[in-house]
């Protein structure tokens, strides 16, 4: 059994801990750390949950995702995997599209998904887990900082093509703001309205909502729905012109969200 633990960090980041069962040993269970933007909350969570780190995975170079790596590598003799171009010391191992990692026996395939940043990676386990950093968010997507809208849309379509039951795990608690915006785009989407209500309830109890199935995302996330007439029409109303391609629709609603 794999257990996913979201560790809140910085302002609204999550560092994901993947707890792996270790049937062989007594004592702390092995865990993989995803995107440690700072070290202190990771150290506290490892202690609280009785975990020992075996690897670190990084999705992209932004400090809120890698800031804790140097201290963690000083404390633990574990490999850190992530994009080429990062300088994080001798324990750091750049990985690339198509690589398969197997920390603790958990097979993870590396997907290169530029858009938010040019170096952005996702990690996919075909038992239904995806770690997608700041590319696909619950109810939204990341800002396009370094890549083009075309790259970002390509990245999102690639993730959306994974099996519906895949659970995404993203880097920030943005769901509420994302779904608020999504409902502006699709006020008639009842499933979306219900998801927003449910998210409000969960957030009132400070429960993390940065994980969901791709099926739910495809039903409610406007950035995965740019091919649909309702989303196109909303984008056309926003920019007051005809939009002929899914890419134009995507770029328009991304710009619209950026203005919120």
Active site residue 227: no
Which residue in 35, 61, 62, 124 is the catalytic one?
62
| Number of residues located near Fe ion, criterion CB under 5 A | 3
Q: Are 34 and 102 in contact (CB under 8 A)?
A: no
Q: Kindly tell me which of 134 and 217 has the beta carbon lying closer to Zn ion.
A: 134
Q: Kindly tell me which of 63 and 187 has the beta carbon lying closer to Fe ion.
A: 63
Alpha-carbon dihedral sign for residues 27, 32, 34, 35: positive
- Residues facing residue 52 across a β-bridge: 30
Q: Are 105 and 123 in contact (CB under 8 A)?
A: no
Binding mask 31-70 for Zn ion (x = CB under 5 A): -------------------------------x--------
> How far is 258 from 241, CA to CA, in rounded Å?
19
Active site residue 164: no
Q: CB of residue 24 vs Fe ion: minimum separation in angstroms?
A: 36
User: What spatial distance separates the first Cα and last Cα of the chain, rounded to whole Å?
Assistant: 40
Question: Where are the alpha helices (H) located in the chain, listed in sequence order?
Answer: 40-49, 63-66, 69-75, 149-160, 175-185, 190-204, 214-220, 229-239, 246-258
Binding mask 156-195 for Zn ion (x = CB under 5 A): ----------------------------------------
Phi, psi of 215 (to 5 degrees): -60, -45
How, if at all, do strands 167-170 and 129-133 pair?
Answer: parallel
Using CB under 5 A as the binding rule, the residues of this chain from 53 to 72 that contact Fe ion are: 64
Active site residue 21: no
Which residue in 60, 61, 124, 169 is the catalytic one?
60
Active site residue 172: yes
Which partner in Fe ion, Zn ion, none is near 186 (CB below 5 to 8 A by kind)?
none
Q: Kindly tell me which of 143 and 237 has the beta carbon lying closer to Zn ion.
A: 143
Active site residue 180: no
> How far is 208 from 202, CA to CA, in rounded Å?
7
Using CB under 5 A as the binding rule, the residues of this chain from 146 to 165 that contact Fe ion are: none
The residues near 104 (Cβ < 8 Å, ≥ 6 apart) are 20, 22, 30, 32, 54, 55
Per CB under 5 A, which region of 17-25, 88-96, 134-142, 248-256 contacts Fe ion? Answer: 134-142
> How far is 212 from 137, CA to CA, in rounded Å?
9
Which residue in 35, 119, 134, 248 is the catalytic one?
134
- Residue 134 near Zn ion by CB under 5 A: yes
Per CB under 5 A, which region of 24-32, 127-135, 176-184, 208-216 contacts Zn ion? Answer: 127-135
- In the complex, which residues of this chain contact Zn ion (CB under 5 A)? 62, 134
Residues binding Fe ion (CB under 5 A): 64, 134, 171
Residues with a known catalytic role: 60, 62, 64-65, 116, 134, 172
């Amino acid at each position: 059994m794999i257990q996913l633990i979201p560790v809140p960090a910085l302002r609204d980041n999550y560092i994901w801990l993947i707890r792996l069962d270790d049937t062989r040993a007594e004592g702390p269970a092995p865990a993989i750390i995803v995107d440690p933007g700072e070290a202190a909350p990771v150290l506290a969570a490892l202690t609280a949950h009785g975990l020992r780190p075996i690897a670190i995975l990084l999705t992209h170079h932004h400090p809120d995702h890698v800031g804790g790596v140097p201290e963690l590598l000083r404390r633990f003799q574990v490999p850190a995997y992530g994009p080429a171009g990062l300088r994080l010391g001798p324990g750091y191992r750049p990985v690339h599209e198509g690589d398969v990692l197997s920390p603790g026996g958990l097979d993870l395939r590396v997907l290169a998904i530029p858009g938010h940043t040019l170096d952005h990676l996702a990690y996919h386990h075909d038992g239904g887990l995806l770690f997608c950093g700041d590319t696909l968010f619950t109810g939204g997507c990341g800002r396009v900082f370094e890549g083009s809208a075309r790259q970002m849309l390509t990245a999102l379509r690639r993730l959306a093509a994974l099996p519906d039951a895949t659970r995404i795990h993203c880097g920030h608690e943005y769901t509420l703001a994302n779904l608020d915006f999504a409902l502006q785009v699709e006020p008639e989407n009842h499933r979306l309205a219900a998801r927003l209500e449910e998210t409000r309830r969960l957030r009132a109890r400070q429960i993390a909502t940065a994980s969901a199935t791709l099926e739910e995302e495809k039903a409610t996330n406007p950035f995965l729905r740019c091919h649909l007439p309702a989303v196109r029409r909303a984008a056309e109303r926003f920019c007051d012109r005809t939009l002929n391609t899914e890419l134009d629709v995507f770029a328009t609603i991304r710009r619209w969200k950026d203005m919120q």
